[in-house]
């Protein structure tokens, strides 16, 4: 039980940078540059903390934190190439980062993009591929609703988090049924 509570608390904490970034969108006095700087600093803090305590970070949280870190750095040291790409991609960039992280974890990690250990590696790979396809769907939605943060980024990302959880639970239930 204690491990479950600890995992839940850290699970919320690892998404704190993107939650704060989203919250700052409602503050009229905070411009996009400041939001990315704050989000990037928080993401860096979470990534370093995660590295120090050696806790396996949720793949989608890792993607959001890397996205915020890249964007924060781009605003800090103005990297023209990233600024041009960000201006073109806008909200879609987070889904591209999520796809790259998901693809790497699907190929390299036994826990895959779902971040779950299972006796059947093919089931993890299959679930990870489903989630990768969903990320591409989120990318499509972000392109379709470009410029509307809630519809192009927040809503599809929440759907990805929900799908990741459903796929994990289905995998765990399948393992429990086989025991």
Q: How far is CA 60 from the centre of its chain?
A: 3
The contacts of residue 62 (CB under 8 Å, 6+ apart) are: 14, 101
Name the helix (H) or strand (E) containing 134: helix 121-144
Q: For the chain, give the longest Cα–Cα distance.
A: 56
pLDDT tens digit sequence for 99-109: 999 999 999 99
Sign, Cα dihedral of 88, 93, 95, 96: positive
- Assign 3 a pLDDT band (cuts: 50, 70, 90): low
What Cα–Cα distance (Å) separates residue 119 from each residue in 25, 91, 112?
42, 36, 13
* 53 vs 56: CA distance, rounded Å: 9
| pLDDT reading at 60 higher than 90 | yes
Task: Give the CA-trace dihedral at 123, 55, 13, 23, to 10 degrees.
Answer: -70
- Assign 31 a pLDDT band (cuts: 50, 70, 90): confident
Which of residues 16 and 30 earns the better pLDDT score?
Answer: 16
Select from 124, 133, 123 the least CA-distant residue to 156: 133
Whole-prediction pTM? 0.88
Q: How many CA atoms, within 13 angstroms, populate the side-chain half-sphere of residue 131? A: 33
DSSP strand E in 27-103: where? Answer: none
pLDDT tens digit sequence for 111-163: 999 999 888 889 999 999 999 999 999 999 999 998 888 888 999 999 999 99
DSSP string, 156-178: HHHHHHHHHHHHHHHHHHHHHHH
Report the pLDDT value the prediction gives residue 136, as an integer from 0 to 100. 97
């Amino acid at each position: 039980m204690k491990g479950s509570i600890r995992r839940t608390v850290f699970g919320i904490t690892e998404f704190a940078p993107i939650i704060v970034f989203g919250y700052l969108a409602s503050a009229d006095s905070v411009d996009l540059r400041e939001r990315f700087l704050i989000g990037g600093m928080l993401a860096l803090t979470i990534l370093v903390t995660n590295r120090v305590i050696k806790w396996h970070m949720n793949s989608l949280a890792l993607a959001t934190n890397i996205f915020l870190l890249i964007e924060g750095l781009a605003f800090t040291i103005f990297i023209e190439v990233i600024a041009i790409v960000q201006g073109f991609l806008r909200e879609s960039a987070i889904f591209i980062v999520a796809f790259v992280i998901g693809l790497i974890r699907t190929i390299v990690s036994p826990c895959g993009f779902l971040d779950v250990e299972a006796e059947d590696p093919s089931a993890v790979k299959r679930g990870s591929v489903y989630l990768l396809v969903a990320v591409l769907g989120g990318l499509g939605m972000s392109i379709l609703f470009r410029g509307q943060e809630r519809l192009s980024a927040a809503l599809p990302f929440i759907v990805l988090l929900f799908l990741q959880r459903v796929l994990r639970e289905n995998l765990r239930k399948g393992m429990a049924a086989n025991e």
